[in-house]
Structures are given as structure tokens and as C-alpha cells.
Amino acid sequence: MTVLLIRNARIARPDGSNFDGDLLARDGRIERIGAGIDAHADETIDARGQLLLPGVIDPQVHFREPGKEYKEDLGTGSRAAVKGGVTSFLEMPNTDPPTVSQAALDDKLVRAAGKCVANYGFFIGATTDNLEELNRAQPVCGIKIFMGASTGSLLVDRPEDLERIFADGTRLIAVHAEDEARIRERRARFQDRTDPAAHSEIRDNLCALKATELALRLSKKYHRRLHILHLSTKEEVELLRRDKPAWVTAEAIPNHLFLNVDDYAGQGTLVQMNPPIRTKEDNAALWAGLRDGTIDFIATDHAPHTLEEKRRPYPQSPAGMPGVETSLPLMLTAMAEGRCTLEEIQKWMCWGPAAAYGIPNKGKILEGWDADLTLVDMQTRRAVRNEELFTKVKWSPFAGRELTGWPIYTIVGGRVAYDRGRIREDVRGKALRFVIGDR
Ligand code: DOR
């Protein structure tokens, strides 16, 4: 039995209001919230001056295990997660081997149980011939389809293969929406360009829009639960604002909210990712899409590659950036600047992803709900420093940025997993359950 008492915190309510009070967690659940709670506890935290939030759910990360553990593994990825206030993550199937079968999924679950300090769930990856596994594998948060090729070998780009997957089954389908044919044609056309900014021209806005249009068409035809990963363009926001059935959700990632093509000048291939960073106008459209509900929530697409790999000349450089431990401070800084509210932070980063993937009992600070929490310091401004990061690759495209809202403690299942710069190594996360994702 573990009892944790957090005293004198500014506690966030789901509606964005807050109050000064105490929270008692017993055996992984929030037992009581109130003022002046007096109970025996195994551990008491004095949280005066700190903001208590529900633990963040990051619904898109790449933790590279098995196969590319030199970049990240489930242990280091989960430690970076809790440092960033993330208590649950959904991990992508483009590992090596890819997660395309029950056996590969079971392997990840066993590895995660042994080393993750945050709660974990996994996608199963679509190939052109694993339809039965896609619909049967358990437990999964959804099916991931790479409609355009990115890191790893997964790709389903022929419309007839996509149609078969959408037609058969009811599970959530999450798409990396970029049109492979257009990428190939433009890559050939731009083959003389070796400047990293070419990446955003090759994989242009129309690449993303075309694939999102196709996924939306198939989702409507078969009434199939669809999630569009890392929406990046103004055109996609406009499309979904006009035409977004109730069974479709979409996400944005901090890279597409806080970076744009101007960053190639200073950071070059470090900011190369798929789908690419776009213009300031796209940044603004994504913020507007979040605010009006066209975009449902935020993920990070944490996609670590070593600095050595990233510094290769374009186009030999790999696409992707780490992000799991900077997303909450970035968003809380935006909140401090008046760009969003405490209610939106919780909707976009806590209960929104939980609702979309059917993760019960997480994402709100309520009695009876899971005690996954993060206590953040909203007073201090601190720069992102590469050497302080927990991700194995030890770099961030946000290095040097001054941010407000760094986690001080992160609590997973009622136990402190991250404690002022250190990991409590005896804590383990649990496999997440998906109530609607597995219909
Ligand atoms: O830039 C990216 N990197 N986009 C993806 O879709 C995959 C990711 C990775 O795994 O490196």
C-alpha cells in the first residue's frame, strides 16, 4: 500500500479553475482532494507555490526499442517522459523489427514492463498483408498507417491496400498522412538541392493535404474511426474545419506550433522532420485549429536520432526530433504568455488524448481517478539545456529557449517517479487499457 499526500498545491480543476488545497493518493488512485487533509502518508510533499496538473498523456512517441536502442530505449524514453510531466505514452511501431504482429507487440510489452517508469501503450503497424493481425492484436491503442514513407520500413501507399484496411474492422486508424507518389516525384525534381530547407518544399503542403483528403474519404465511406497524426498545414486545418465527422480526431505537435521554415537557417537538418516544419502562417492556422476544436489534442512525435546522424548533409540526414520532455514547458510558457488557458492545456495534453484513445480514468484530477500527476513550477524561467535532458540523444531543437513550467515532481500510479531532477528507479508504469480503441 502506498499513500502519498500532496499539501498546499494549486490544484487544477478540469474546467481550468484552480484552488489551493491537498490531495491524498492511495494505491494509485486519488482518494481525496480538499483543504487541510490530515492523514497518515508514506510520503508527504509540500507543494506550496506549485501547480498540480493531471499527468500528461503523450499519444505519439518513437522510443526505438527494439532495434535502435543507441538512439533511445523504452527505459530512457520513459525517464525523459516523466521529466517532462508525461505519465503515459503511446509508442509507434516503426521499430526494428516493426510492431506488426502479436509476437512483436508482446515483446514490447514485456520490455516495457521491465523498465518503463511511465504507463505505456503501443500501436500496431499496418503492412500490405497483416490485416488479420491488425484487427486481432491486443492490447493496442490503434493501427498506425504510414501513407508516406518516413523513418523505418513501414508504408501502405496504394489506395486499394488502404481501402482494404479501412473497410475491414472497427479499430482506430491513425495515419501519417503524406502522399508517397507526390513525395517521390518531387524528390526527383529537387534532387540537386542539398540545403535542408528543400525538405519542406519536397514534402510540401499538398503532399499532406492529398493524403489527409484520402484518409478522410475512406473514413467517411466506411464510417471508420480515424485519427490524423501531426497535422501540419493550414490547408488541412481548413479542410477539417469544413468537414470533420464526429468519429475523426486530429493532433498537432509542438514542432509545428513553435518552429517554422525560418529555423532551417539556424538549425539546418536538426529541424528536419516528416511532415516537415512549415511557415508562420501554418503555425498560426494550427493554433487557431486547436482553439476552435478542429484539432483535438497535442502529441510530441518524439523521434530521437543522434546529433551525429542529424548533422549528416541533407538528404542523408534522418527526419525527426526529440520532444517528449519539452512539450509541457513549451505549452505552459504559451499559457503564461496568454496564448492558451489552463483548461486548454488539460484538454489538449491530458483528458483529450485519453478520451480519443479510450484510456479510462486518466487526464483529470478527480477523486477516484488515477493518481498520475505532475507538479510544475510556474515561477522560474529556465532555458532548455541539452546536457540536462534525459533523452539518450541529449539534444533539443528548443535548446536555449527560456521556458516557464518545468515539472518538479511527476507521480505515476500514486508514486513519485520524478523527484527534482532525479528518477526514483523503483517505480514502474503499467500497460494502458483502451476501452474504445479495441472495439
Ligand atoms: O520525422 C519523423 N520521424 N517523422 C516520422 O513520421 C517518423 C519519425 C521517426 O521515427 O524518426
Band of pLDDT at residue 437, cut at 50, 70 and 90: very low
- pLDDT, one tens digit per residue, over 371-400 is 999 999 999 999 999 999 999 999 999 999
Range 3-52+366-423 has CATH code 2.30.40.10: yes
Contact 252, 295 (CB under 8 A): yes
How high is the mean pLDDT of the chain?
97
Mean pLDDT across the stretch 396-415? 98
**0.85 surpassed by pTM:** yes
- Neighbour-count burial of 132, counting CB atoms closer than 10 A to its CB (0-12 exposed, 13-18 middle, 19+ buried): exposed
Q: What are phi and psi of 384, to 5 degrees?
A: -70, 125
The domain locations on the chain are 3-52+366-423, 55-357
Q: What is the pLDDT of residue 439?
A: 37
Q: Which of 73, 282, 296, 301 is the catalytic position?
A: 301
Overall size of the chain counted in residues: 439
Mutate to test the pocket of ligand 1, among 273, 305, 314 (most ligand atoms within 8 A of CB): 273
Residue 272 Cβ inside 6 Å of ligand 1? The answer reads no
- Summarised one tens digit per residue, pLDDT across range 271-328 is 999 999 999 999 999 999 999 999 999 999 999 999 999 999 999 999 999 999 999 9
Residue 401 in grid coordinates:
529557449
204 carries an active-site annotation: no
Segment 424-429 shows an average pLDDT of 97
Residues above pLDDT 70, as percent of the chain = 99
DSSP 149: -
DSSP bridge pairs for 61? 91, 302
- Paired with 9 in beta bridges are 21
What percentage of the chain carries pLDDT values higher than 90?
98
Confidence of residue 438 (pLDDT cuts 50, 70, 90): very low
- Please work out whether the CB of residue 274 comes within 6 Å of at least one atom of ligand 1: yes
Strands 86-91 and 119-125: parallel
Name the residue with the closest Cα to ligand 1, atom 4: 274
Please spell the DSSP secondary structure of 156-187, one letter per residue. Answer: ---HHHHHHHHHS--S-EEEE---HHHHHHHH
Q: Is the peptide bond before 139 cis (omega within 30 degrees of 0)?
A: yes
**CATH topology agreement for domains 3-52+366-423 and 55-357:** no
Does the Cβ of 269 fall within 6 Å of ligand 1? no
- The average pLDDT across 233-250 equals 98
Q: Is the pLDDT of residue 260 over 70?
A: yes
Cα(437)–Cα(439) distance, rounded to whole angstroms? 6
- For 252, residues 6+ apart whose C-beta sits below 8 A from its C-beta are 230, 231, 232, 286, 289, 290, 295, 298
Q: Are 348 and 331 in contact (CB under 8 A)?
A: yes
Average pLDDT over residues 75-103: 98
Cβ–ligand 1 contact at 64 (below 6 Å): no
The pLDDT-based confidence of 52 (bands split at 50, 70, 90) is: very high
User: Could you confirm whether domain 55-357 is CATH 3.20.20.140?
Assistant: yes
